[in-house]
């Protein structure tokens, strides 16, 4: 079992309607993660672009996503806290779902 985890939050720049997510939503995430974990890394200068298929849409065209990635390194992973936080973030960012994932890492 890994001693540490890298938790990554894939945060969209636009909500489910295509409107820009307010800067305050990103500020809230930063404040929460820094307060709880003592810091974070934000990959926000070059937003990532993704495509995904939405089964609820009538078109076969994939949905285009523009995201930034925030990540924190934690020793003790609390899946219940992260699951609840992910749900709160999905609501704040106007999404049906939002990706938060944890990767086991070994610091060198």
- Give the predicted TM-score (pTM) of the model: 0.84
| Per-domain residue ranges of the chain | 4-105
pLDDT digits over 48-98, tens only? Answer: 666 566 676 667 776 677 899 999 999 999 999 999 999 999 999 999 999
- With a CB cutoff of 8 Å and minimum separation 6, the contacts of 107 are 3, 4, 73
| Assigned CATH topology for domain 4-105 | Alpha-Beta Plaits (3.30.70)
pLDDT digits over 9-18, tens only? Answer: 999 999 888 8
pLDDT of residue 100: 98
């Amino acid at each position: 079992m890994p001693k540490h985890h890298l938790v990554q939050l894939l945060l969209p720049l636009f909500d489910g309607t295509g409107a820009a997510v307010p800067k305050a939503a990103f500020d809230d995430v930063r404040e929460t993660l820094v307060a709880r974990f003592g810091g974070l890394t934000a990959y926000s200068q070059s937003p990532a672009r993704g495509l995904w298929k939405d089964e609820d849409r009538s078109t076969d065209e994939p949905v285009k996503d523009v995201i930034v990635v925030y990540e924190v390194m934690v020793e003790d992973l609390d899946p219940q806290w992260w699951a609840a936080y992910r749900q709160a973030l999905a609501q704040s960012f106007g999404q049906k779902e939002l990706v938060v994932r944890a990767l086991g890492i070994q610091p060198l």
